[in-house]
Chains A and B, each alone.
Chain A
Amino acid sequence: MADASDSQSNPPVDPAPSGPDGERKLLRLPDLDRLIGLLRARGFRVIGPTVRDATIMLGDIESAAQLPSGWAERVEAGFYRVERRDDAACFAHRTSPESAKRHLFPPAQKLWRADGSEDHPQPVVEDRSTAPRLAFLGLHACDLAAIAVQDKVFMGGAYVDHVYATHRRGALIIAVQCTSSAPTCFCDSMGTGPHLDGGCDLGMTELIEGGEPVYVVHTGSEEGAQLLAGLAPPPASHAQVVAAEQLVAEAAAHQKRRMQTEGIKDLFYQNYENPRWEEVARRCLTCANCTMVCPTCFCANIEDGTDLSGRLAERRRRWDSCYTLDFSYIHGGSVRYSPMSRYRQWLTHKLATWIDQFGTSGCVGCGRCIVWCPVGIDLTEEVAALRMSARAS
């Protein structure tokens, strides 16, 4: 992930992998319920997958009963359905339109207020000190990679973003390794998954035994270890540990889509004027779905407004998208007027300019943009086509 231009595959399967505590533990569904209870007792807001609006979303959960046990997603480019699966797996979601971004970098944030009836209106900053700590349950490797990308955007530069940093620094992450991939996943070729490689407090792998889920758990931090100790779990068997890692390796091996990342920055920099952009622009609706579901997209608008009296001014930040005309508006007109230039901006940013800006690709291979694009535009296909077209010209 550090350098997207040389994609790495996942590390080879270690038959007896060891976390910092040297041993993997075993949890069952009732233990997850206790875990959620423990977190809530410690004041955490627990955010996990749950079925809402016929979609597996990330939302507040109070018990394991709210997990999407027995539900799976059927997805393809431009297609998403939840459907029943024949076991009770809880973490089979891959392409939820929501990600941790919604909670670490909320879609609408109040920044400050100032009362204009005062002689010298003083900004009063939104108090975030009392916001509960967030505990994420069920994030995947690509989600953690996306958080690492946004860490660089919001906390890695000369300025630290206060909203993001507040949520992020308090966050606890219980991640899940993927034991199967969606047809839209390509994390393996981006070097971001499905194997968990740090970045979480606890890491779990879901196995199905007799139709019921069990979890092989490793710890990734001191806080994670303490939490796990509170559940007094038995060790996982050697066979369970091996089975878990085997499934993850198979998930990687079976991924259908791949992104060829070698030399990708130069490919984009040299192909601003490739005719392929016009071709994709004929299909793109500039609806901005891809930017909304993408777990790394960070563009935002800063809006100043007042209440009806015009007295109380408030500054808010709201997710924005490079697909809108307003986004690049300067007096006299928008810089990126054509839909072609806006699609080009998005993909070029994701896969090329992001590397210069933040030392990493802006894409973690989660496939959300492929699934949620109403016309099924697939960025892996676009990159392949751009390569073909570049070679031909």
Chain B
Amino acid sequence: MASNAVADPLVSRPWRVKRRIREAHDTFTLEIESRAGESFPFTAGQFNMLHVHGVGEVPISISSNPAETALIRHTTREVGPVTKAMRKLDAGDTIGVRGPMGVGWPIEAIEGRDVVLVAGGIGLAPLRPALYRLIAEREKYGKIVLLYGTRSPQDILFKHELEHWRAQFDLEIHVTVDRAIGTWRGHVGVVTTLIARAPFDPLETVALVCGPEIMMRYTLMELGRRGVRESDMYLSMERNMKCGIGTCGHCQMGPFFVCRDGPVFNYAQIKWLLGKAEV
């Protein structure tokens, strides 16, 4: 690759798929590494533009531990052409990577606070790196509570890891499903119903929220009702993204390029836009 190719932010770097892990019937994790052996530092909440040869390129959050910079993971739900093709990739295949992109979760800035993470569906993937960070320095934070809503018990992502964390660390995890099937004896209902009873001190709490936009809106409302300050709520926005670097225009939301100024925003910063339709 010519040297200018490395510098061109629109050129994908060829990485190698190390492993594909099945997470749920429609969700998989790709573990990938650089063919050039590059180390890949990133912050929790950042994403990559992943390119499947000849098919297309889509933004996918990094779902692995930021402390591990040689092997990184992306957890993806198959919804359409590109994610479908991505699921067909196997160990040894090439995947194009551009990134890391965007602004992630404010992990350092919230030291000393209680942290409530609210995830809906695949929204747990971009929050997992934040959880790794919080756990790594568990003593620096107050209560850590994960509220996670998903469609059915079969759709619960990172199940073993969640169980492990719950056992090993001082971590509250509450999972709810939209539809209970089989032997599920846990909570049923949307994730927002968990907020009212979750054990956290609202004024001490910083909330990190990721999921479908509608779920996030209700979550923020509910957190507000509990007394969490708007300036203490963070959310990760999804928009169409083609460049990831603020030059293609697709991801705009008001004055923000979600790819560059986000995807993680402080709620107080974007509240004026979130309430409006079709911005």
Interface residues of A (CB under 8 A from B): 111-112, 114, 116, 120-125, 153-154, 157-159, 161-162, 269, 272-273, 298-302, 304-306, 310, 313, 315, 317, 320, 322, 327-332, 335-338, 340-341, 345, 348-349, 352-353, 356-357
Contacts and interface: CB of A to CB of B under 8 A. Distances in A.
B45 to A, nearest CB: 18
Given A116-B54, A331-B79, A345-B252, A125 B279 contact: no
Contacts of A356: 255
Nearest to B279: A272
Contacts of B22: none
A324 B115 CA distance: 40
B56 A353 contact: no
A146 to B, nearest CB: 16
A159 B245 contact: yes
Contacts of B35: 120
A111 B247 CA distance: 15
Contacts of B16: 120
A305 B82 CA distance: 12
B240 A329 contact: yes
A304 B55 contact: yes
Interface string B87-101: 000000010100000
A94 to B, nearest CB: 26
Contacts of B260: 157-158
Given A125-B8, A330-B238, A353-B254, A336 B54 contact: no
B1 interface: yes
B46 to A, nearest CB: 14
A166 B140 CA distance: 49
Contacts of B8: 111-112, 125, 162
27 contacts: A112-B10, A116-B54, A123-B11, A123-B14, A124-B2, A124-B5, A157-B246, A158-B260, A159-B9, A161-B247, A162-B8, A162-B10, A269-B254, A300-B242, A301-B242, A302-B57, A302-B248, A305-B54, A306-B53, A322-B249, A328-B239, A337-B278, A340-B278, A341-B277, A348-B254, A349-B252, A353-B252
In the A-B complex, the 10 residue pairs with the closest CB atoms: A299-B249, A341-B278, A306-B54, A356-B255, A313-B54, A353-B255, A302-B242, A159-B9, A125-B5, A331-B79
Given A298-B247, A335-B279, A345-B279, 18 more contacts: A112-B11, A120-B35, A122-B14, A125-B4, A125-B5, A157-B247, A159-B9, A161-B10, A162-B4, A301-B242, A304-B55, A304-B57, A305-B54, A313-B53, A313-B54, A345-B252, A348-B254, A357-B257
Contact of A357 (B12, B96, B255): B255
Contacts of A112: 5, 8, 10-11
Contacts of A114: 14, 53, 96
Q: Is the interface of B mostly helix, strand, loop or mixed?
A: loop
Most A-side CB within 10 Å, residue of B9, B16, B249: B249
Contacts of A306: 53-54
Nearest to B52: A304
A327 B240 contact: yes
B187 interface: no
B250 interface: yes
Interface string B1-31: 1101101111111101000000000000000
B145 interface: no
B37 interface: no
Contacts of A313: 53-54
Contacts of B238: 330
Given A299-B248, A302-B57, A349-B252, A335 B5 contact: no
Nearest to B277: A341
A154 B240 contact: no
B1 A320 contact: no
B276 interface: yes
A12 B112 CA distance: 60
B1 A336 contact: no
B254 A159 contact: no
B54 A298 contact: no
B90 to A, nearest CB: 14
B11 A330 contact: no
A111 B11 contact: yes
A116 B53 contact: yes
Nearest to B249: A299
A72 to B, nearest CB: 34
A348 B80 CA distance: 31
B146 interface: no
A154 B11 contact: no
B246 A159 contact: yes
Contacts of B57: 302, 304, 315
A159 B247 contact: yes
Contacts of B51: 304
B14 to A, nearest CB: 5
A43 to B, nearest CB: 21
B279 A341 contact: yes
Nearest to A119: B94
